[in-house]
Amino acid sequence: MSLIQLTNVSKSYTDPGSGARVPVLRGITLGISAGESLAIVGPSGCGKSTLLNILGTLDTPDEGEIIFDGESLSQSNAKQLAALRSQKIGFIFQLHHLMPQCSVLENVLLPTLALKSPPTDALQRAEALLEQVGLKDRMNWKPAQLSGGERQRVAFVRALINQPSLILADEPTGALDEANAAALTDLLLKLQKSSGVTLVMVTHHRAQADRMGRVMTIHEGVLS
């Protein structure tokens, strides 16, 4: 079953120097099945992050259609898209973006605050997920007390706390050394499989991409 379908999606930006429109995505058509893991690879500046932002409704295409879980997003307003993001999409970035003043547990629970009706089992779920990633004994620690790999593990758990349908990961291991990157990729795939969530990761590291169920390449805004 398809979770997301993009049809002829294009996106361009205005060059601040010349004022000319610069194409970033060119007629992207892509179907992503529920529960699959997909890597999108390509060099810097090829449109990977723009595509991820469009998948996550953080950006809108100039042309084309996006269908998410059977619903077209063409007529959705900003409030509806924000609700979709908070309920159905989890984000993992290269930089963990943890709140330094909050504990590990508080950081994990932050996404639940955006829900009208936070799940009653959110605390138990957070503790169980932190135990899965080996951080239950650090629940009350602050991010500054953690290693880079541990902070990213917290970011993984935070992305899963609202039980989303889709996880979008933008170079999630890019700030880590090779050994930690491989370990974190293993962990991310383990969490993805155990939860049944759909995972889309963009990366320029082919070795990490090859661990995913499917790999696609983007070059000069064209996906193949």
Proportion of the chain above pLDDT 90, given as a percent: 59
Closest CA to 153 of 168, 174, 171, 132: 132
Q: Where are the alpha helices (DSSP H) in the chain?
A: 48-55, 78-88, 104-109, 122-132, 148-160, 178-195, 206-209
Euclidean distance between CA atoms 62 and 27, whole angstroms: 10
* 103-121 per-position pLDDT tens digit: 999 999 999 887 776 677 8
Specify the 3-state DSSP secondary structure of 137: helix
Question: Strand 166-170 vs strand 37-41: parallel, antiparallel, or unpaired?
Answer: unpaired
- Residues 122-143, mean pLDDT to the nearest whole number: 93
Whether the CB-CB separation of 135 and 153 falls below 8 Å is answered with yes
- The confidence band for 80, taking pLDDT boundaries of 50, 70 and 90, is very high
* 169-209 per-position pLDDT tens digit: 998 877 677 877 888 888 889 889 888 999 999 988 888 89
Euclidean distance between CA atoms 191 and 208, whole angstroms: 16
Q: For residue 26, what are its two tokens?
A: 């060119």
Q: Can you give the pLDDT at residue 9?
A: 97
Tokens 């135990």 belong to which residue? 131
**222 φ, ψ to 5°?**
-110, 130
Residues 6+ apart with CB under 8 A from 207: 182
Torsion angle defined by CA atoms of residues 69, 72, 78 and 80, in that order, rounded to the nearest 10 degrees:
-50
Examine the pLDDT at 4 and tell me if it is beyond 90. Answer: yes
